[in-house]
Amino acid sequence: MNFNGVLFVQQPQQVVSGHGVNLFQDTQNALGLYLHIPFCFHKCHYCDFYSIVDSATRHEDRQQHFTDALISELLTANDKSPLKVRTIFVGGGTPTLLQPKFWHQIFQTLHKIVDFSSLDEFTVEANPETVTDELMRLFAQNGVNRISIGAQSFDQSLLKVLERWHDPQNVSKAMNIARNAGIRYINLDMIFAIPSQTMDRLNADLDAVLDLQPDHISDYSLIFEPNTPLTQKRNMGLIQPIKEDIERDMFEHVITRLSQAGYDHYEISNWAKKTQANQDLPVWGNRCLHNLLYWHNANWLGFGPSAASHMNGHRWKNLPHLGKYIEGSPIPPTIDHEYLKQHDRIGEQLMMLLRLREGVSTAWIKKHIPDSDVRHQTIKELRDINMLEIRDNYLRLTDQGLFVGDAVIARLL
């Protein structure tokens, strides 16, 4: 595969999920695409993803220039034959803010460069205010089978804290529009531990989510990212973060409520509705296959400003700057180039697999981590303090370790 002037040789590499579920037969079949559409009609105060405030009606020319550049970049990945892609994920920004006519151009290009017969999952992120019949029908007609809706909370006052401007009632409307258009899978993104949130208000949010019965739920504890307006407000004393012990209680409560409601807690912050015996679903059920691709350290190519890529240990990122992205078309400027040596790749894969509740098999550890590796001692220390455990021949985070999972996992890098 030739991409941005670099030749990548696909090396066979079996990628196996826990308990023997073979998700990706080799790296070619594991390939995913990520497209970043940076436009937002309002910048949420907690968000640190690259985005620019835009109105489709006021800046149509800018959307056209971006679309032209994105299409040109996509075409650079076109080899002699269409790409065998398992997943496509479109994030932002607010991808559904892009006008339908520009989406149509992007879909035309994707159908030229991607073998859709190998595509299992095609996800687009959406703001509930921008989900329309026209757009959802266009999505469904072009292979999109999963929508991820940013709900965050159903409490208007908590949304205001986040500077998240949508009507909570429109979440259910957006879900109905997507379902009626033929979109099979729906995820709701939620946030907890929002300043001023109480356990009662958290329960109300969970009630609202469970009433809607999405196929998948992502529920993240609020993170105060550097250089965001929300962090600046915290530093100025204008808002008070939730205390750590209360945040822990909230996290445990989310786990309990969603698990009791029939959702499989398969990753630290992700839940999938459990499948029934009579349901015609793939082996991964309602889990997000694209994110599983990330967590299994498979390959993906990123397109659009700020999009990251990983191919066989090579990592790079497009410069997060729309103007320079357009100017550099079809080969945008890139940053953060690195090549991970085998030792580091093993460490990173261990770290990513431990995010999954099933963990990583002890057989995988024995095969890939030499007895002399210091990580064996680190694993022992983390087991001694009840952060890691071995269950059914899998090393995994304990219930106690889940809350501080990122810190625990970082020790193994």
Spatial distance between the Cα atoms of 153 and 96, rounded to a whole number of angstroms? 19
Q: In this model, does residue 39 exceed pLDDT 90?
A: yes
Q: In what order do the strands lie in the sheet with 360-361?
A: 360-361, 394-397, 388-391
Percentage of the chain surpassing pLDDT 90? Answer: 76
φ/ψ of 331, rounded to 5, equals -110, 100
Spatial distance between the Cα atoms of 38 and 95, rounded to a whole number of angstroms? 7
| Higher-pLDDT residue of 54, 230 | 230
CB of 42 within 8 A of CB of 165? Answer: yes
Sequence-distant (6+) residues with CB within 8 A of 52 are: 38, 39, 40, 93, 322
Helix axes 244-260, 199-212, angle to 10 degrees: 30
pLDDT of residue 322: 96
DSSP letters for 247-299: HHHHHHHHHHHHHHTTEEEEETTEEEEPPPTT----TTTTS-HHHHHHHTT--
- Helix ranges restricted to H, 119-265: 133-141, 156-161, 169-181, 199-212, 229-235, 244-260
H-run or E-run covering 68:
helix 60-76
pLDDT of residue 58: 59
Q: In this model, does residue 201 exceed pLDDT 90?
A: yes
Spatial distance between the Cα atoms of 309 and 125, rounded to a whole number of angstroms? 19
Pair of tokens at residue 147? 């929508």
Q: Where are the domains of the chain?
A: 2-295, 343-413
Does residue 166 sit in helix, strand or coil? coil
Question: For 6-20, 224-238, 382-396, which range has the lowest pLDDT when averaged over its residues?
Answer: 6-20
In order of 50, 250, 251, the CA distances from 244 in angstroms are 28, 10, 10
Location of structure tokens 């694993």: 379
Query: What length does the chain have?
Result: 413
pLDDT digits (tens, 9 = 90+) for 45-63: 778 788 888 765 557 899 9
Spatial distance between the Cα atoms of 142 and 108, rounded to a whole number of angstroms? 9
pLDDT of residue 10: 37
Q: In what order do the strands lie in the sheet with 216-221?
A: 263-267, 270-273, 216-221, 185-192, 146-152, 121-126, 87-92, 32-37, 300-303, 308-311, 314-318, 334-339
Upstream peptide bond of 330 is cis (omega within 30 degrees of 0): yes
Domain 343-413 has CATH 1.10.10: yes
pLDDT of residue 276: 75
Q: Is residue 20 very low, low, confident or very high in pLDDT (cuts 50, 70, 90)?
A: very low
pLDDT of residue 12: 34
Question: For 12-21, 69-78, 105-114, 303-312, which range has the lowest pLDDT when averaged over its residues?
Answer: 12-21
pLDDT digits (tens, 9 = 90+) for 264-312: 999 999 999 998 766 777 889 999 999 999 999 999 999 999 999 999 9
Given this chain, do its domains 2-295 and 343-413 carry the same CATH topology? no
pLDDT digits (tens, 9 = 90+) for 92-131: 999 999 999 999 999 999 999 999 999 999 999 999 999 9
The class (CATH top level) of 2-295 is alpha beta
pTM over 0.75: yes
pLDDT of residue 238: 93
pLDDT of residue 405: 92
In order of 73, 112, 305, 321, the CA distances from 327 in angstroms are 12, 24, 11, 10
Q: In this model, does residue 4 exceed pLDDT 90?
A: no
Average pLDDT over residues 141-160: 97
| Higher-pLDDT residue of 237, 281 | 237
Q: In this model, does residue 403 exceed pLDDT 60?
A: yes
